[in-house]
Structure 1
Amino acid sequence: MHKKEIYTAGKELREAEKVLILIHGRGGIAKEFLLLANSLNTPEFAILAPQATDFTWYPNSFLAPAAQNEPAYSSALKVLEELIDDIKETGIASENIYFAGFSQGACLSLEFVTRNAQRFGGVAAFTGGLIGDKINTENYTGDFNGTPIFIGSGDPDAHVPVERVKESAEILRDMNAKVEIEIYKNRPHTISEDELRLANQFVFN
């Protein structure tokens, strides 16, 4: 399904102490999404950006029943699982692995880390929430152990309801993440300068 196609920037993985995984949105291009790192406090990081096959991680809305997004959905999670394994093989621990994603990529980021909760470096989810027509907490295990997670979103947003953002945040908090949410009235479906500022302040400080 999804091929493991990873674009890189920043430090070489084997020379870096920290890693940022950037996950693009629907229709996105990983090589271009690498540029987001220029706006984050990550100058000493290795930056890795996986590319979704056909430019989308799963075909339907993140609010569709999970079965309607298969097999792409499971394949996308598998790409991230293999990428984390590759990173850890270089000696980098999970507490030095960070995630940032936009829209579909933000949803995938949150879903992956919550299915594999542990002390990560941090997560910046720019317009996203946990995936599914309803949230199935049986999918989520582990303890975030204080992982900082920032979620920014618009109200209203064409793709991500504010209710799902808030519901997701509560689950993350229940799993011991430190969650910061910022909701922007009538903000377009984009990443704002203020979101980048807050992500730097809360996650990449």
Structure 2
Amino acid sequence: MNNIIEAGVPLSEAKKAAILLHGRGATAQSILSLKEYLNLEGFALVAPQADGNTWYPYSFMAPDQSNVKALQNSLSVVQEAFDLIIQNGIAASQVYFIGFSQGACLSLDFAARNAQKFGGIIAFTGGLIGDKLKEEVYSGDFQSTPIFIGSSERDFHVPAARIQESATLLKRMNAEVKVQLFDDGEHTIRQEEVEWVNKHIFR
């Protein structure tokens, strides 16, 4: 088992769970601080730690071969976390993915490669991964899973155009997608995003 930190309600007792994926240079412990802001009472929280604090070495829009080995490893880490939750008797429809930046991209990509009815996906500044979006790598039906993507209109790392392109593809896979783009240049999680997610997904 990779380095996975658990918090919140023990998996063996929880009815719902969230997988939290940190950004580049951050830690599993740091992304768990979101439990202070999001309505995650009653959740088992599972936060994997990326090797070297990075899920993949280059931009999420770099040529695919640049990131392919690290990305496959990272997707397998998320799969381990997901399997751990399912093995504890929690339904996939009660599993949520929460990520920031690199972790947001990884959350969206893992979910789209394994689309089914999830509890929800919250991507704070992220889009689907690849130099171009390749629909053939994504499969399944989200069955109206809510997906939130929030970011700056001019984020340095995640272009708004890729967010919109990702949202379009996810909608075609029957997700209910909400995109919020803000008129600032900040690479951060905003209070407005937290409030929307709490009101509409963790209600």
Smaller-chain TM-score bracket = over 0.9
Secondary structure of the residue that 1:8 maps to in structure 2? strand
Matched residue count: 203
- Structure 2: runs of 5+ lacking an equivalent: none
State the match for 2:145 in structure 1.
Answer: 147
State the match for 2:162 in structure 1.
Answer: 164
Q: 2: distance between equivalents of 1:158 and 1:10?
A: 33
Greater displacement, 182-191 / 54-63: 182-191
State the match for 1:111 in structure 2.
Answer: 109
Secondary structure of the residue that 2:12 maps to in structure 1? helix
TM-score (norm 2): 0.98
Report sequence identity in percent.
51
TM-superposed CA distance for 1:120, in Å, is 0.2
State the match for 1:189 in structure 2.
Answer: 187
Secondary structure of the residue that 1:57 maps to in structure 2? coil
Is the CA contact 1:150–1:202 (under 8 Å) kept in the aligned structure 2?
no
Is the CA contact 2:19–2:82 (under 8 Å) kept in the aligned structure 1?
no
TM-superposed CA distance for 1:66, in Å, is 1.8
Q: 2: distance between equivalents of 1:187 and 1:145?
A: 34
State the match for 1:73 in structure 2.
Answer: 71
TM-superposed CA distance for 1:202, in Å, is 2.1
Q: 1: distance between equivalents of 2:120 and 2:83?
A: 17
Matches within 5 A, 1:16-55: 16-55=14-53
Q: Amino acid of the residue matched to residue 74 of structure 2?
A: A
Deviation per residue, 1:151-174 (Å, 9 max, x gap): 001010010000000000011100
Q: 2: distance between equivalents of 1:35 and 1:126?
A: 14
The counterpart of 1:178, out of the listed 162, 165, 176, is 176
- Structure 1: runs of 5+ lacking an equivalent: none
Is the CA contact 2:141–2:174 (under 8 Å) kept in the aligned structure 1?
yes
TM-superposed CA distance for 1:137, in Å, is 0.2
State the match for 2:57 in structure 1.
Answer: 59
Q: 1: distance between equivalents of 2:159 and 2:125?
A: 9
Secondary structure of the residue that 1:14 maps to in structure 2? coil
Matches within 5 A, 1:76-95: 76-95=74-93
Q: Amino acid of the residue matched to residue 161 of structure 2?
A: E
Q: Amino acid of the residue matched to residue 119 of structure 2?
A: G
